[in-house]
Amino acid sequence: MIGKKIREYFETEPDFKEALPKNLKDTDSLIDSGVIDSLGIIKLVLFIEETFKISVGAEELNQENFETISSIEKFITHKTVGR
């Protein structure tokens, strides 16, 4: 569910959809594939905070959390468990 929402965001957001490879797997690097850069991460974080009603701290803005759709899903799941 979370991964699907993230993928849909990348597929519909004008800043990302042009760079999104058609065969991108959830485990492929969004950074290495050129889909997302530092500005894109900020836009993504705003979407995540609004959609999933979570806050993302500055210390959480790292490649580990935002490298792939799977890592983003894992990060959001971790933040929302137990709320």
Q: pLDDT digits over 5-38, tens only?
A: 999 999 999 989 889 998 999 999 999 999 999 8
Q: Which two tokens stand for residue 37?
A: 């850069």
Closest CA to 65 of 55, 76, 54: 76
Class of domain 2-80: mainly alpha
Give 60's DSSP letter: G
Closest CA to 73 of 4, 3, 19, 7: 3
pLDDT tens per residue, range 40-80: 999 999 999 999 999 999 999 998 999 999 999 999 999 99
CB distance 61 to 41 below 8 Å: yes
What's the half-sphere exposure (Cβ side, CA atoms, 13 Å) at 62? Answer: 5
Q: What is the pTM of this model?
A: 0.92
Where are the domains positioned within the chain?
2-80
Dihedral (Cα; 60, 46, 23, 3), 10-degree rounding: 70
